[in-house]
């Protein structure tokens, strides 16, 4: 997992797909329109912009992906993302090749909780099980965020 400010994106990779993903992120504004998963560079780099109310850990799901790395960034408001080492979790729903996702049972509190703030990005690799969409403060709020999917083998 990587958590950093958007201006530091060049510190982590020189891969062309990485550059493509961050050029897209740098161009986004809080008023960006919501979208389904859309290609930025074919199936190598894709993105989805969404809004939703944050929720409690009991309402959220722990997921991980095999083929894609997630780059998550809030555009409006803040959510928390819980992180778990994938190898320590019990599978709840086996890997689905179509959605590139496996779901896990929540073992209890996460070892790491990251506030996903505007201007900051969180990169989640295949070994990073994660539970996004969590309440970051004392009450739920509507978060608008982007998830960029970058093919893991391109890094």
What CATH number does the domain containing 27 carry? 2.60.120.370
Token pair listed for 11: 């510190």
Q: What is the pLDDT of residue 69?
A: 98
Q: Which of 28, 140, 12, 18 is nearest to 73 (CA)?
A: 28
CA-CA-CA-CA dihedral for 123, 126, 131, 136, to nearest 10: -10
Query: In a structure prediction context, what are the per-residue pLDDT tens digits for the chain, which is 155 residues long?
Result: 999 999 999 999 999 999 999 999 999 999 999 999 999 999 999 999 999 999 999 999 999 999 999 999 999 999 999 999 999 999 999 999 999 999 999 999 999 999 999 999 999 999 999 999 999 999 999 999 999 999 999 99
Token pair listed for 12: 């982590």
Quote the pTM value: 0.95
Q: What is the pLDDT of residue 138?
A: 93
Token pair listed for 18: 């990485």
Q: Hunting for tokens 């929540």 — which residue is that?
A: 106
Q: What is the pLDDT of residue 96?
A: 97
**Residues 148, 105: contact at Cβ < 8 Å?**
no
Domain that holds residue 15: 2-154
> How many structural domains is the chain composed of?
1
Q: What is the pLDDT of residue 125?
A: 98
């Amino acid at each position: 997992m990587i958590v950093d400010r958007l201006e530091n994106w060049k510190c982590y990779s020189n891969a062309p797909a990485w550059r493509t993903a961050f050029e897209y992120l740098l161009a986004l504004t809080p008023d960006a329109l919501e979208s389904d998963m859309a290609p930025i560079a074919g199936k190598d780099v894709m993105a989805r912009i969404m809004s939703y109310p944050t929720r409690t850990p009991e309402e959220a799901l722990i997921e991980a992906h095999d083929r894609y790395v997630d780059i998550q960034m809030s555009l409006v408001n803040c959510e928390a993302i819980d992180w778990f080492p994938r190898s320590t979790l019990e599978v709840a729903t086996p890997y689905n090749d179509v959605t590139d996702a496996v779901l896990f049972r929540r073992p209890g509190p996460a070892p790491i909780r990251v506030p996903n703030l505007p201007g900051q990005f969180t990169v989640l690799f295949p070994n990073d099980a994660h539970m996004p969409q969590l309440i970051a403060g004392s009450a739920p709020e509507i978060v608008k965020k982007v998830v960029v999917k970058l093919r893991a083998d391109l890094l």
